[in-house]
Amino acid sequence: MQLLLEKGANIEAKDRWGRTALFWAAENGHKAVVQLLLEKGADVEAKDQDGWTALIWAAENGHEAVVQLLLEKGADVGAKDHEGRTALQGAAENRYEAVVQLLLEKGADVEAKDQEGWTALIWAAENGHEAVVQLLLEKGADVEAKNQYGRTALHRAAENGHEAVVQLLLKKGVDVEAKNQYGRTALHRAAENGHGAVVQLLLEKGTDVEMKD
């Protein structure tokens, strides 16, 4: 890499997806290469054809050291891709607790929503990432936030049978009777998918067993 740069290789050359060398190094966690490219003037805010930055790529893949380096070099922690997705949402969805923590410490908006209204909390709950859900809640994530379909973190956790996450959300006082756009509650979703333990939890919290959609 050093040799190529010394020989005049175009550091901002893009491939068919609009990605530069910095993108590929960040995506794959090659910290030393990211460092070299940044020292040689690589654009830390460059976006590919989908609007992803190197920071989003690094966060989506859990490369904490690269995320740290990019942030130190001025990467925008709140940058969004063409679907409104941030680095925080990507890290939360994929269970990268340390990256989530780092992004929050650097000022990432815990309530940022993508174009479909998903927050980092909803993504983490959807995938059963208990530790990430706990972290986001500690940082003030809105437990009642809904996506464009009216689904809350509780809906998504209940639908997928993530008992521990449901328990966390219930402890935070989430509204167990919240309805999605079709009038369904978390109880409806858990029952539909046969998640008995989650159904039991919701009933213990006083969910109306006769609630109709």
Tell me whether residue 49 is in a domain: yes
| pLDDT of 1 | 54
CB 138 within 8 A of CB 130: no
Specify if 213 maps to a domain.
no
Task: Please tell me whether residues 49 and 126 are part of one structural domain.
Answer: no
Instruction: Specify the pLDDT at position 14.
Output: 81
Residue 40: CATH number of its domain? 1.25.40.20
Per-position b or e across 21-34, b if 16+ CB within 10 A of its CB: bbbbbbbebbbebb
- The tally of domains found in the chain comes to 2
Provide the residue type at 79 as one letter: A
SS3 letters for 110-163?
CCCCCCCCCCHHHHHHHCCCHHHHHHHHHCCCCCCCCCCCCCCHHHHHHHCCCH
Are 65 and 151 within one domain? Answer: no
Ranges of the chain with pLDDT below 50: 4-5, 7, 209, 213
Q: Are residues 103 and 120 in the same domain?
A: no
Note the pLDDT tens digit of each residue in 57-88.
Answer: 999 999 999 999 999 999 999 999 999 999 99
Closest CA to 198 of 143, 161, 151, 168: 161
Q: Are residues 131 and 98 in the same domain?
A: no
pTM: 0.89
- Residues 124 and 103 placed together within one structural domain of the fold: no
Domain residues for the domain of 54 are 1-108
At 102 the pLDDT is 98
- What integer pLDDT is reported at residue 7 of this predicted model? 43
Distance from C-alpha of 59 to C-alpha of 62, rounded to nearest angstrom? 5
Domain-embedded: residue 61? yes
The residue among 108, 139, 162 that closes a domain is 108
Note whether 158 and 129 are same-domain residues.
yes
Q: What is the pLDDT of residues 121-130, one digit of tens each?
A: 999 999 999 9
CA distance 66 to 68: 5
